[in-house]
């Protein structure tokens, strides 16, 4: 059926047609500022929304907005652990190893520290590491090794402080003392 919106155009009736989560209810009155017919639609979630026929037909509008929210929620809660201490540790591990803009990257990804392929998936990381005990954080047993199940543990700040990598110093203690004496003028 063809409906008349104004004297200049004809609109194809799409009432009762489904577009994604929307069912078209009725044609809305013509609006001078709109080039396309506007339709009152009912979303599966119960909300009503006005949508142009163009947006419906081209697939630009598929819901009242609840579809995008549902997709975001699904992405964020795929494993139900978003925002937990374990998830934050996993995200921080990735950031340290893969984000050159992050402070400290030079000590992780910049040194070639990698994350094992198995841990690219949070569920695998959680299965291997388990729940993070209160007061502990992710630690690599061998600080020159990658993030792998065999090389990682939940450790206290004290345990981590005792597990720092040795900084390579090309100068001996004696050379350092001589350099300091020269800088202060006590070298002769």
- Write out the H or E segment, with its range, that includes residue 158: helix 157-161
Q: Can you tell me the mean pLDDT for 113-131?
A: 95
Judge if 61 and 90 occupy the same domain: no
Report percent pLDDT > 90 for the chain. Answer: 60
Q: Can you tell me the mean pLDDT for 104-118?
A: 94
pLDDT digits (tens, 9 = 90+) for 41-88: 999 989 999 999 999 999 999 999 888 877 777 666 677 788 889 999
Does residue 47 sit within a domain? yes
Does residue 62 sit within a domain? yes
Tell me, rounded to whole angstroms, the distance of Cα 152 from its chain centroid.
Answer: 23
Q: Can you tell me the mean pLDDT for 99-109?
A: 91
Does residue 75 sit within a domain? no
| pLDDT for res 10 | 78
Does residue 149 sit within a domain? yes
Q: Is the dihedral of CA 33, 37, 43, 47 positive or negative?
A: positive
Does residue 182 sit within a domain? no
Q: Which of the residue ranges 45-59, 112-126, 156-170, 172-186 would you say has the lowest mean pLDDT?
A: 172-186
Which residues, in sequence order, are CB contacts of 116 under 8 Å at separation 6+? Answer: 146, 147, 148, 149
Structural domain ending residue among the three candidates 69, 98, 119: 69
Judge if 89 and 155 occupy the same domain: yes
Judge if 135 and 98 occupy the same domain: yes
Does residue 76 sit within a domain? no
Judge if 39 and 95 occupy the same domain: no
Does residue 101 sit within a domain? yes
| pLDDT for res 11 | 81
Q: How many domains does the chain have?
A: 2
> CA 101 to CA 84: how far, in whole Å?
24
Structural domain span for residue 34: 2-69
DSSP string covering 25-83: EEEPPP-TT-SS-EEEEEETTS-EEEEEHHHHHHTS--SSSHHHHHHHHHHHTSSS-TT
Give φ, ψ of 147 to 5 degrees.
-80, 105
> CA 10 to CA 8: how far, in whole Å?
7
Residue 169 pLDDT grade (very low, low, confident, very high; cuts 50, 70, 90): low
Judge if 149 and 110 occupy the same domain: yes
Judge if 137 and 95 occupy the same domain: yes
Judge if 65 and 89 occupy the same domain: no
pLDDT digits (tens, 9 = 90+) for 125-152: 999 999 999 999 999 999 999 999 999 9
Q: Which of the residue ranges 100-109, 146-155, 172-181 would you say has the lowest mean pLDDT?
A: 172-181
* Res 31 pLDDT > 80: no
CA angle 124, 77, 108 (to 5 degrees): 50
* Res 120 pLDDT > 60: yes
Judge if 89 and 157 occupy the same domain: yes
Give the residue from 9, 63, 68, 44 showing the smallest Cα distance to 27: 9
Instruction: Output the CA–CA distances (angstroms, integers) from residue 145 to 103, 140, 142, in the order listed.
Output: 20, 7, 5
Residue 185 region by backbone torsions, left for phi larger than 0, else alpha for psi between -120 and 50, else beta? left
- Write out the H or E segment, with its range, that includes residue 137: strand 137-140
| pLDDT for res 168 | 64
Judge if 92 and 134 occupy the same domain: yes
Instruction: Output the CA–CA distances (angstroms, integers) from residue 21 to 50, 61, 131, 160, 175, in the order listed.
Output: 14, 9, 39, 52, 75
Judge if 39 and 105 occupy the same domain: no
Does residue 132 sit within a domain? yes
| pLDDT for res 56 | 94
Judge if 90 and 51 occupy the same domain: no
Q: Is the pTM higher than 0.75? A: no
Judge if 50 and 108 occupy the same domain: no
Terminal-residue alpha carbon distance, the chain: 104
């Amino acid at each position: 059926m063809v409906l008349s919106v104004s004297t200049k155009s004809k609109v194809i009736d799409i009432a009762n047609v489904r577009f994604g989560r929307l069912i078209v209810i009725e044609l809305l009155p013509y609006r001078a500022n709109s080039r396309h017919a506007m339709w009152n639609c009912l979303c599966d979630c119960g909300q009503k929304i006005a949508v142009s026929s163009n947006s419906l037909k081209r697939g630009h509008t598929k819901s009242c907005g609840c579809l995008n929210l549902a997709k975001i929620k699904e992405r964020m809660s795929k494993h139900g652990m978003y925002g937990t201490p374990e998830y934050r540790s996993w995200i921080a591990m990735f950031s340290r190893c893969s984000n050159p803009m992050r402070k400290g990257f030079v000590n992780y990804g910049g040194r070639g520290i990698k994350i094992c392929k198995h841990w690219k998936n949070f569920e695998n990381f959680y299965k291997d590491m388990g729940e993070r005990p209160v007061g502990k954080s992710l630690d690599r047993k061998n600080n020159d090794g990658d993030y792998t199940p065999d090389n990682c543990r939940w450790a206290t700040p004290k345990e981590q402080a005792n597990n720092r990598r040795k900084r390579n110093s090309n100068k001996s203690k004696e050379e350092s003392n001589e350099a300091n004496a020269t800088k202060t003028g006590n070298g002769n």
